Structure 1
Amino acid sequence: MELRTDRVGLLLDQLESSVTFTRDRLQGLTDDEYFWEPSPGNSWTVRRRLDGDVDVYGKGDWIADFSPNEPIPPPVTSIAWRMAHLLACFTMRWDWTFGNRRMLFDDLEIPHTADDAQKRLFESVERWREDVDGLTEEQLDTVGFSQFPAGLDPTVPFIAIVWWLNREFVHHAAEVALLRDLYREKLK
């Protein structure tokens, strides 16, 4: 593979290689692993919506735990939660950059199977990558090119948002890989 040397090309190559590693690492992910709570009763996860749920996001029957003021220390999370978080990051940032600029956390359909989560996550990352790759240098340097309201988007050059989403992907994909290792050890 020949790596690009332009600044957005380097970031997109980094994202693509991270996605390739992650796809390989997620081979065979089961629903049991996807929903496993490493700290039962003290984990954030994806679950069925119940009447009166608070501090959650998502539309439909499935939601992800959330709090506008993240507890300190933050709760341990499931693979399902990490993947829903990444899906939210890429789907909503895409909408606020290239789409209708109106998607919010409660507009997101939360995947409730490991296969669907992978499919949707990798599709959203690829859509993001393709559209970012078509931007001009001027657009990459534009402060507020993305208007995502739950981040720094309106205050930093767009290239910084591209960098940030790479960082999010690498960070959370590594956590998912570790959770898979811990789940496997739990079964021994």
Structure 2
Amino acid sequence: MQSEGARTGRLSLLLDQFDRAREMAQVRLTGLGDEEYLWEPVPDCWSIRRRGEATTARAFGPGEWVLDLGAPDIPADEYAEVARQAAGGMTVAKIAEDWSVSVERVEEILAHTGDPEPDKTPVTTIAWRLGHLHYGFAGGWEWTFGERRQDPKLLVDFTPSAAVALDRFWAVLDRWRDSVATVTDEQLDTVGFSQYPYGSDPDDPYVDVLSGANLELIHHMAEIAVLRDLWRTRFTAAG
């Protein structure tokens, strides 16, 4: 393995991007309380809920609290990625398997012309966003640097405590970052270096997987930041 001081330019760029995003996120999440963490700004939000109170089709988690998850589909902003997968030689059946949708749904997307209609996606709570990121990074580590056997959806014990959730989340990010820093240039180019079972990781060079992980952290933290702004101004905004 390479030492961090000798890592390649590509890895340095990705680690620096990750470090900056994590630093901004930690500052932005300072002072997060339980009520804000679980705040549902509109009806029918996705969040974390006690197992017996879950209403979504595929809510999951190993303990008392589960993370909302609806029926599988391919969002509109991923249509181009599906087209790239097909153009790269991936079969329709394999694409359908990766996205947990039917072959007919993939064929429908590949036949689509023009701009797709925007998705009608649920509004999600801060608890949901953090939980989504947590199990993604925990699963990404397990299926790259760990034993590659545990279901990512069973790795995180979701909690209604903001402080506990954040402590666990930062620890998972630190473990991820420490392991990624050891990756060699050859491993960056290795297709299937990550075997994360939900998505296209086994079919992608690891450098693409890392880029995608950074994007997940950045865009979900941006959403959390907006929710924090809305929470702060919820009683003072002009009606």
Q: Is the shorter-chain TM-score for this pair beyond 0.5, marking a shared fold?
A: yes
Q: 1:26 aligns with which of 12, 29, 47?
A: 29
Match of 2:40 in 1: 37
Q: Which aligned runs of 4 or more in structure 1 are off by greater than 6 angstroms?
A: none
Distance 2:10 2:159 in 1: 33
Match of 1:78 in 2: 125
Q: 1:52 to 1:91 in 2, by over 3 A?
A: closer
Match of 1:56 in 2: 59
Letter in 2 for 1:17: R
- Higher mean C-alpha displacement, 42-51 vs 127-136: 42-51
Identity of aligned residues (%): 43
Letter in 1 for 2:201: D
Greater relative contact order structure (CA < 8 Å, 6+ sep): 2
SS at match of 2:40: coil
Q: 1:11 to 1:184 in 2, by over 3 A?
A: same
Distance 2:219 2:53 in 1: 33
Distance 2:174 2:54 in 1: 35
Match of 1:9 in 2: 12
* Alpha-carbon shift at residue 107 of structure 1 (Å): 3.9
* Alpha-carbon shift at residue 92 of structure 1 (Å): 0.4
Distance 2:32 2:24 in 1: 14
Matching of residues 81-100 of structure 1 within 5 Å: 81-100=128-147
Letter in 2 for 1:45: S
Letter in 1 for 2:216: E
Match of 1:165 in 2: 213
Letter in 2 for 1:162: L
Distance 1:132 1:166 in 2: 12
Match of 1:119 in 2: 167
SS at match of 1:44: coil
* Alpha-carbon shift at residue 113 of structure 1 (Å): 1.1
Contact 2:21 2:218 (8 Å CA) reproduced: yes
Contact 2:8 2:185 (8 Å CA) reproduced: no
Q: Does 1:129 align with 2:132?
A: no
Distance 1:44 1:127 in 2: 28
More strand by share: 1
Structure 1 residues 44-70: Cα deviation after superposition (integer angstroms, max 9, x where no partner)? 001111078642011110001012425
Letter in 1 for 2:45: S
* Alpha-carbon shift at residue 122 of structure 1 (Å): 1.2
Structure 1 residues 146-188: Cα deviation after superposition (integer angstroms, max 9, x where no partner)? 1011011111100111110000000000000000001111133
* Alpha-carbon shift at residue 100 of structure 1 (Å): 1.3
Distance 1:51 1:168 in 2: 28
Give the aligned length: 184
Q: CA RMSD in A?
A: 1.7
Match of 2:149 in 1: 102
Structure 1 residues 22-48: Cα deviation after superposition (integer angstroms, max 9, x where no partner)? 1111111010000001212x1000111
Q: 1:147 to 1:160 in 2, by over 3 A?
A: same
Could you tell me which runs of 5 or more consecutive residues in structure 2 were left unpaired when the two chains were aligned. 1-6, 76-118
